[in-house]
A and B are shown apart, each in its own frame.
Chain A
Amino acid sequence: MADTLTGAEHDPAARVPGFPMPRAAGCPFDPPPALTAAQQEGPLARVRLWDGKDYWLLTRYADQRAVLLDPRVSADLTSPGYPLQAPGSGKNDIGFILMDDPEHARLRRMVTAPFAIKRVEALRPAVQTIADDLVDAMLAGPKPVDLVQALALPLPSLVICALLGVPYDDHDFFQENSRILIKRDAAVEERTAAHGELIGYLDELMGEKMTHPGDDLLSGLVARVESGELSRLDAAQMGVLLLLAGHETTANMIALGTLALLEHPAQLALLRDTDDPKLIASAVEELLRYLSIVHGGRRRAVLADIEVAGQLIRAGEGVILPNDLANRDPEAFPDPDRLDLTRDARRHVAFGFGVHQCLGQPLARMELQVVCGTLYRRVPGLRLAADIAELPFKHDGSVYGVYELPVTW
């Protein structure tokens, strides 16, 4: 009888909440209260998306991890029942993150080498120099300053540009189009146009690299296009994915993470007063867990019947797995709503879980470690230069953060 517990379509009296849900005013770091309430009520909830259809939402850490590992669920948004993020999502395919194995694995393995731990560690001194230079410039300039423009956005953008072989001078162009592409409420035409701009840009850049190859990731992809392993469109899509994911996510972590620390002065003091790489690494994991900025819920379609927490979920149904909620599951993280930089948060799912887990995570970690070990020590008087209630939060983005973070010292 388990499968009689379906949704509103069978029980007109039930009120199915919409998803995504709004955060509470004054609690910018916590998941929406309705989402937390759903977790307290049980492992599964029904939610309604923009398309008027109802989907399963998994509230628990353990269930989310199990489903994300299950080969009977699909990340391909053309699979029946897939819960699309927004109207027209399918038109702006950004590569292998929306494919299943074996094709996903084949493409992913073409770009994983530069993100191996040792390769990323070798970049640490260069990233440290970038961070020091940006902080120098910030300290030499007028205050207050917008930390997003002074540090959070340029640091990861400079790094990913160097790694991919994209000219940093084009940053206004790709940052603006990336911002539109991940804006949840952007019109379909607007997002499609931004996607087209980025694909065209990467394709042209790779064209240049055919005649003038460099020692960078895009040149590596171009070589695979020339050898016939990769289509030109797949290569451009991979370039867009890496460029976008390489700067937008880390930038939001730097800015929102700094805001969270400014709001938790005792925690900030731990970082200001240390040069212990272990504590800094632990702090980064906890910030990743606590903030879980990819807050739109991982989406999957069920290809063959599965059971979650005793509930049958049928082939053709869609599931939503909000990792921000999993990272606040008290069974996985005691006292989950407390920011505690000294806790062991390594098992968080802020980078997702399963075969699609973020491939750039070693780079993101290293960048965040450099920032956490630099900014607060070098600017010990850092403080917010605005009312937190007035800050423009990215409620409308598929990656959460702040559009601006005015700070002074």
Chain B
Amino acid sequence: MRVELDEPKCVASGQCVLTAPEVFDQRDEDGIAFVTDEEPAPDSLDAVREAVAICPAAAIRLTER
């Protein structure tokens, strides 16, 4: 799977970091999220799916192969 985050859309709610901390983090200066692991291990799949569903700005895209 591949995870992408549309940074201009992000509203820094932090929900992805809360849901999948092994895949997302936030910038120090403004809390905007970024992906730390673009191709995470399969055992992160459920958490990433939840992060996609929960993101208030629909900023996360998951491509499953």
Q: A and B: real partners?
A: yes
Is A118 a contact partner of B26 (Cβ separation < 8 A)?
yes
Interface residue A330 (Cβ < 8 Å from any Cβ of B): no
Give per-residue flags for B42-63: 1 if the beta carbon is below 8 A from chain A beta carbons, else 0: 0000000010011011100000
Given A357-B13, A362-B18, is A347 in contact with B28 using a C-beta cutoff of 8 Å? no
Does A126 interact with chain B (Cβ within 8 Å)? no
Cα(A358)–Cα(B12), bound, Å? 10
User: Within 8 Å of chain B (Cβ to Cβ): is A115?
Assistant: yes
**Closest chain B residue to A120, Cβ basis:** B14
Stretch at the interface among A142-150, A205-213, A348-356: A348-356
B57 touches A112 (CB 8 A): no
By the criterion CB–CB under 8 Å, are B56 and A117 in contact?
Answer: no
Q: Could you tell me if B57 and A115 are in contact, using CB atoms closer than 8 angstroms? A: no
How many angstroms from the CA of A354 to the CA of B59 in the assembled complex? Answer: 10
By the criterion of a CB under 8 Å from any partner CB, how many residues of chain B are at the interface? 21
Q: Are A359 and B12 closer than 8 Å at their CB atoms?
A: yes
Of the candidates B19, B50, B58, the one having the most CB atoms from chain A within 10 angstroms of its own CB is B58
Residues of B within 8 A of A347 (CB): 53-54
Q: Given A354-B56, A355-B11, A357-B11, does the pair A112, B32 have CB atoms closer than 8 Å?
A: yes
Measured between alpha carbons, how far is A112 from B27 in the docked complex, in Å?
A: 10
Select which of B14, B21, B32, B56 is within 8 A of A355 by beta carbon.
Answer: B56
Q: Taking the complex as formed, is A346 at the interface, i.e. its CB lies under 8 A from any CB of chain B?
A: yes
A110 partner residues in chain B, CB cutoff 8 A: 30
- Residues of chain B with a CB closer than 8 A to A365's CB: 18
A11, B41: Cα distance in complex, Å? 58
Q: Measured between alpha carbons, how far is A352 from B31 in the docked complex, in Å? A: 19
Interface status of B5 (Cβ within 8 A of chain A) = no
Given A69-B58, A354-B56, A359-B13: A117 touches B18 (CB 8 Å cut-off): yes
Q: A109: CB under 8 A from chain B?
A: yes
Interface bin, chain A? 20 to 34
Tell me whether A112 and B56 are in contact in the complex, defined as CB-CB below 8 angstroms, given that A357-B13, A361-B13 are known contacts: no
Interface of chain A residues 324 through 377 with chain B (CB within 8 A): 346-347, 351-359, 361-362, 365
Question: In the complex the two chains form, is B50's CB within 8 Å of A346's CB?
Answer: yes
> Is residue A113 contacting chain B, with contact meaning CB distance below 8 A?
yes
Among B11, B15, B26, residue most surrounded by chain A Cβ atoms (within 10 Å): B11
Chain A contacts for B29, CB-based, 8 A: 113
Q: Does A116 contact B (CB under 8 A)?
A: yes
**Assembly CA distance A105 to B54 (angstroms):** 19
With A112-B12, A359-B11 known as contacts, the answer to whether A346 contacts B56 (CB < 8 A) is no
Instruction: Determine if B56 and A353 form an interchain contact, defined as CB atoms under 8 angstroms apart.
Output: yes
A112 engages B31 (CB within 8 Å) = yes
A108 at the interface (CB under 8 A from B): yes
| A116-B50 CB under 8 A given contacts A108-B11, A355-B56, A359-B12 | no
**Contact across chains for A105 and B14 when beta carbons are under 8 A apart:** no
Chain A contacts for B50, CB-based, 8 A: 346
A115 touches B14 (CB 8 A): yes
A362 near B19 with CB under 8 A, answer no
CB distance from A329 to the nearest CB of B (A): 15
Whether A109 pairs with B32 at a CB distance below 8 angstroms is yes
A68 — which chain B residues lie within 8 A by C-beta? 56
Assembled-state Cα–Cα distance A110/B30 (Å): 7
B64 CB to nearest chain A CB (Å): 20
Contacts A109-B32, A357-B56, A358-B13 supplied; 18 other A-B pairs, CB < 8 Å: A68-B56, A69-B57, A109-B12, A112-B30, A112-B31, A116-B14, A116-B31, A117-B21, A118-B17, A120-B14, A347-B54, A351-B13, A355-B11, A357-B57, A359-B13, A361-B15, A362-B14, A365-B18
5 of the cross-chain contacts (CB-CB < 8 Å) are A69-B57, A69-B58, A346-B54, A354-B57, A361-B15
- Name the 7 nearest CB pairs between A and B, nearest first: A357-B56, A112-B12, A116-B31, A112-B31, A116-B26, A117-B17, A117-B14
User: Which A residues contact B (CB, under 8 angstroms)?
Assistant: 68-69, 105, 108-110, 112-113, 115-120, 346-347, 351-359, 361-362, 365
